[in-house]
Structure 1
Amino acid sequence: MQINVPRLIILLIAFAWLWPSTTLAQQLDPVLRELIGKGLDNSHSVNIDNFNKDQAIVDQKLAKSVFLPKVTLNGSFTRLDDDISFDDDTQSLLIATQKLLIKESVGIPFNDPFPESIPLTSISNLQNKNILKSSMDVDWVLFSGLEASNALKASKHQEASLNFVGLAEKDKIALKIIETYDKLALVYASKRVLSSSEEYLNEQIYYVKKAIENGLATPIDRKKIELAQQQLATKQLEFDHNKTLLIEVLHQLTKESKERLSALTPSLIPFTTDDSLSGTEKRNEIKALEEAEKATLYKSKMEKSNFIPKLALKAHYEFIEDDLSLLDPKWYVGMGLKWNVFDGNQSRLKSKKSIIESKKYREQIEDADEMIALSIIKAELAYESSLQNTKMVQKEIELASDTYAMIDKQYKNDLASINDVLDALNDLEKANFKLQDSFFNQRRAVTEKLHAKGILTY
């Protein structure tokens, strides 16, 4: 049984349009969804965005860690050129004072000589020349003047911005994979069109040979058929090259093996849209810019808070007492207040710079909103045009198919030339190409429309 390929394609597409509408993710080929997943998992740009987001998370932890006490253990050994001690006059004075105190305690008159039998304590050095120290310091910020809290809020908005940047990058990668996959499907569809044309040509070769044998055609008619075959072979080679190139692109995007990609048989089935896909959401690019704007505003507040007093606790403890000087404490605890009154306008200028940066983000947001609104209109117009173009091409295929059948019949009855047959076949081939291209453009218009509206799913 022979099947009219153009009419079959038309019936399949009409059936697809009558099928209940679903989300784009449900309409995507499962193999395509798998390739998108692999592309997102293996994307260098997505991984870089994830690393940037991880850095923002670390910045948040750094901001929080300001309020954690910092504990430091210290150890050192120092050798001086000599012990540090009192001068001779001071030592003599301290010895004399010691004698007076002893006389008084044992009841010896003031003017009596000091007994030789009573030992005296030697005067200690202020600092021995060998100094071994082991200590611990504790520094604890109790109030940072809102600088740390504003830094924390800025880093949170920065993380959110980077997260939306990553989502926007994923959308771009998904769109690229869908487009490449559809191009590969277009190549396969074009290949099927060429195969159908080849069957028609082979059929014409049979009748030309019979006609030549019966004197109803000339060898020139056969050469025209052969030329048509060579032109067809050239087109087939071109599409084979396109297939190889597209498989290489898909391999780079998804890291899927070329062998499996070569075994795929994608097809161009138009996407359907309904009211569930007509809504509009804020694009990830806009969300990223808005979060970045908020981050810069908090950064400005952080820099302004440099003038708010800061409160911190300081503690110190010495583990080794033997080598401490007479003036060194074993431990101490203190509270400190730091108030930056004037820093040469640096904080004010840095804050002003951050405000200007936030204004730049606001301009980018407004510009992006305008471009997105324009892209939505452009995508909707392209979608409407693709639908109308598909209907027109379907009519062209019907006409080209009927015309070819009629001229082929006339040629077999010697009422038309081989040129007429080849021209009709060429028109049918072009119409089939245009139909596949129209399907491709329709799918592109739908994905671009959904992406522009911020409701692209995959």
Structure 2
Amino acid sequence: MKSKLSFLLLSLLFYHYSSNAQSAPGFKELLDSAMVRDADLRTQLTKNKLTELDEHKLKDVYLPTLEVSGMAGYMNATAHIISPELNLQPFLNIPEGKYNNNINVSGFSGLAKADAKMLLYSGGKVQYLRKAIGEKKKSETVLLEKSSDEVVAMISRAYDQLALVHQSKKVLDEGKRRLEANRKTADKALGYGLITPYDHKKIELAQATLDAKIAEYEGKKDLLLTQLEVLTGISKDRLELIQPVLVAVVPEAPHKSIEDRAEIRALDYGINASGYKIKAEQTWWIPKVQLMASGYYLGLYGTRIKSSDNIIPPIPAIGYPGRKLDWRPTNLNVFPIFLGGVGFKWEIFDGREGKHAIETARIDRELLENQKYDARRKLTLNQANNKSNYEIANSQIALKRKQKEMAGDALVTAEKEFRYGMTKSTQLIEAENDLEAAELDYQNAIFNQRRAAIEMMRSTQELDITKLY
């Protein structure tokens, strides 16, 4: 019983996964997969990590730092002394200040040091830089919206192109069906001598031409499926199950303006960031305060301290021969040497480096303001152009629909006349080609209208995929 239950569960799981594997992906799934795989978005997100790292650096600037260093080596130092070490002038008749001697210290030395520092006050520079980075992060987030819209437009175009191919295939299949029916009529008419073999060959040529067009569209379909597979990572087996249909888009009236575009908002944040950068640079003259502490260890090993001449001169009166200094201590250690306190640094004159940094920051802000001015002009023209293209595309749909209806009526008339021997196959084929071209032009008009509608929504940063699919 247990084994049967396990088999049933495995069967259900297999059915679940196989059914998912064979289901056609919706546009939302295509878009989500493309967002994850898009190289530009991933690159931009990776670059944004550098800004986050800069933010963490500023947060850590008030953390204490500890540095430990050490040194070991051989020391040999000699000091030349011209001074009466001992005041023996009354006894030895030595002129004052004329006592000469060399004191030599040699041996192995060791030094260890630990320094600790902590910034207490930066003059306000860190606070302004933190605000500048905050504005920069907002700018980068806004630019991600622009990149996301570009991915939406790219996937939407590929998806609609696939729909256009499907609709074109239906048009060609319908034309092939009509030509097959008309060929049967032509076969009968040729048998009765109502048409010439040349007219009959015309229909065969039209069929061959139509087959070539169908093969061409199959190649386009395979190319589009490959493109979607590369962009989304979804297998062709699932993508082939998509049966999209082209429908005209009716976007709502815009509720936003050019100022809501990602480019303008990103530049606004950039200008704010440059303003904080100027304030940060203006703090160059304010004193900086930090807490400092140091600990030292000094050791001398195998040391010898000696003098070149007598440290105590000879005294003939009492028969004293004099004495040189020759001291061999086992080791000398000085520990701990501790220093601690609060220090400040005040750059009263820095060679105008601070002023140059302020001017550089001001120029950067001026450049951003010029970019915003230029972007606003271009985006205004772009919005007007997109609105005009959308209106033209809408009018083209009505025109192409009327042409398709007229071509359909003309083909019905030509088929009747050909069936009763009132016209030649040339006129029938021309009517068939006209209807095929009119139907394809109508589908292209819908495709172009969708592109124009998407660009018009993007012009005010109001692209909504729920209005598209």
TM range, normalised to the smaller chain? 0.7 to 0.9
Deviation at 1:329, TM superposition (A): 5.7
Partners of 1:321 and 1:330 within 8 A in 2: no
In the alignment, which residue of structure 2 is the partner of 1:292?
270
How far apart are 1:134 and its partner, in Å?
Answer: 4.1
Residues 191 and 76 of structure 1: CA distance in aligned 2, closer, same or farther (over 3 Å): same
SS state of the match for residue 139, structure 1?
strand
Structure 1: 4+ residue segments shifted above 6 A: 84-90, 125-128, 319-328
1:73 is the counterpart of 2:78: no
- 1:367 pairs with one of 374, 383, 390: 374
| Greater strand proportion | 2
The answer to whether the 8 A contact 2:58-2:126 is kept is: yes
Question: Is 2:254 aligned against 1:247?
Answer: no
Q: Does the alignment pair 1:147 with 2:125? A: yes
| Contact 2:394–2:449, Cα closer than 8 Å, also in 1 | yes
**What is the TM-score of this pair, normalised by structure 2?**
0.78
| Aligned match for 1:432, one of 439, 443, 452 | 439
Output the amino acid matched with 1:417. Answer: K
Per-residue deviation, 1:75: 3.8
Q: Following the alignment from structure 1 to structure 2, what is the Cα–Cα distance between the partners of residues 348 and 325?
A: 52
Which amino acid in structure 2 is aligned with residue 59 of structure 1? D
TM-score w.r.t. the length of structure 1 is 0.79
- Read off the aligned partner of 1:196 and give its amino acid letter: E
Q: Pairwise mapping of residues 366-405 of structure 1 onto structure 2 (< 5 A)?
A: 366-405=373-412
Amino acid at match of 1:50: L
Within the alignment, does 1:213 sit opposite 2:200 as a pair? no
One-letter identity of the residue aligned with 1:237? A
The 1:380–1:337 alpha-carbon spacing in structure 2 relative to 1, beyond 3 Å, is: same
Q: Check the 8 A contact 1:313/1:334 in 2, yes or no.
A: yes
Q: CA deviation at 1:393?
A: 1.7
Letter in 1 for 2:56: K
**Aligned-pair CA distance for 1:132:** 3.7
Identity %: 28
Aligned length: 398
Structure 2 counterpart of 1:186, one-letter code: L
- String of CA shifts for 1:188-243, please: whole Å, max 9, x gaps: 11111111111111111111111111111111112111221222122223222222
- AA at the equivalent of 2:291: L
Distance in 2 separating the partners of 1:424 and 1:227: 15
Unaligned runs of 5+ in 2: 1-23, 89-102, 302-330
CA 1:127 to 1:43, structure 2 compared with 1: closer, same or farther past 3 Å?
farther
Q: Which residue of 2 aligns with 1:19?
A: none
Deviation for aligned residue 1:52: 1.6
Give the letter aligned to residue 124 of structure 2: L
Deviation at 1:126, TM superposition (A): 11
Question: In the TM superposition, what is the alpha-carbon distance from 1:179 to its structure 2 partner?
Answer: 1.0
Residue 347 of structure 1 aligns with which residue? 354
Contact 1:126–1:326 under 8 Å retained in 2: no
Structure 1: distance between partners of 2:256 and 2:426:
53
- Partner Cα distance (1:420, 1:158) in 2: 68
Taking only aligned residues, the RMSD between alpha carbons, in angstroms, comes to: 2.9
Deviation at 1:261, TM superposition (A): 2.5
Structure number with higher relative contact order (C-alpha < 8 Å, ≥ 6 residues apart): 1
Aligned to 2:3: none
**Structure 1 CA distance, aligned partners of 2:106 and 2:238?**
81
Which of 128, 139, 154 is the matching residue for 1:161? 139
Where does 1:192-341 land on structure 2 (aligned, <5 Å)? 192-275=170-253, 278-280=255-257, 282-318=260-296, 330-341=337-348
Post-superposition Cα deviations, 1:373-423, rounded to whole Å, max 9, x if no partner, equal: 222222222222222221222222222112211221111111121111111
Bigger helix fraction: 1
SS at match of 1:272: coil
C-alpha separation between the residues in 1 aligned to 2:402 and 2:204? 30
Matched letter for residue 32 of structure 1: F
How far is 1:263 from its partner?
Answer: 3.3
Q: Distance in 2 between matches of 1:268 and 1:174?
A: 17
Secondary structure in 1 matching 2:351: coil
> 2:153 matched to which residue of 1?
175
SS at match of 1:248: helix
Distance 1:386 1:325 in 2: 95
Question: C-alpha separation between the residues in 2 aligned to 1:245 and 1:350?
Answer: 54
